[in-house]
Amino acid sequence: MDSKTPDDGGAASPARAAMSAKVRERLNRNPMVSRIETPLIDMYVRHDFASAQECARLRELIDADAQPSSLFAGSASPDWRTSSSCHLDPWEATVEAVSDRICALMGLAPALGETLQGQRYHVGQQYKAHYDFFPVNTDYWPRMRDSGGQRCWTAMVYLSGVAAGGETHFPHAGFMVPPREGMLLVWSNLTADGAPNEKTAHAALPVAVGTKYVVTKWFRERPWTP
């Protein structure tokens, strides 16, 4: 995936860099947030971010609406992403509470955030290595550019633990984050100068035992319009 095609989404950006610096500074000041030490990615963890009751409600909502997950790149191999997913109702009480709390923790305006997406992985299901930012040499980039621009930050809440497998693997950084119910994992999809960071490639490894549930919220550089 080559994100270096000349376009405003694939180049350095002072505006995106400034936005990310403010998020980093806010998270670094929060005593409840821990930074994952890697020089390649700005990444943070907040344990016990969502309560057991909130996790149970969100799992219930995902089970009610989940459909086989799709890909922006429709030509990709069908086994690339084998989970189920759905966009959650932003006005449902638990969805709204968790989403607002993510925005407050990161200091980002709710208008920048996409709708919270729920994902479910049964045994053997996975999502192979991918980026959350949008490569600008794709046919879908113009739509994404016009609907809010680059995805700058990712916030993901694990809604369940699993007995084996299901880790979020960052191959360039050389580590994996296992699912822990209620834990929030946050990372920047950009380099310090605001360009897409290819070192943020990550995969949801196959679940070996149990069922993995997560919700993910992506933040754009400008207000998101669905």
Residues forming a β-bridge with 207: 123, 165
Q: Domain ranges in the chain?
A: 14-220
pLDDT in tens, 215-226: 999 999 999 998
Other CB atoms within 10 Å distance of the CB of residue 13: 21
Q: Is 130 helix (H, G, I), strand (E, B) or coil?
A: strand
pLDDT in tens, 121-131: 999 999 999 99
* pLDDT, mean of residues 189-196: 97
43 backbone dihedrals φ, ψ, rounded to 5° = -140, 140
pLDDT at residue number 154: 98
Identity of the amino acid at 28: N
pLDDT category of residue 202 using cuts at 50, 70 and 90: very high
DSSP state, 20? H
Residues in the chain, total? 226
Beta strands in 24-64 (DSSP E): 34-35, 43-46
pTM (two decimals)? 0.94
Average pLDDT taken over every residue of the chain: 94
pLDDT in tens, 131-164: 999 999 999 999 999 999 999 999 999 999 999 9
pLDDT in tens, 69-81: 887 655 456 788 9
CATH says 14-220 is which class?
mainly beta
pLDDT at residue number 145: 97
- Nearest-Å Rg of the Cα atoms of the chain is 16
Which is nearest to 63 in space by CA: 102, 121, 123?
121
Query: In the β-sheet with 202-204, what is the strand arrangement from edge to edge?
Result: 127-130, 202-204, 168-170, 175-177
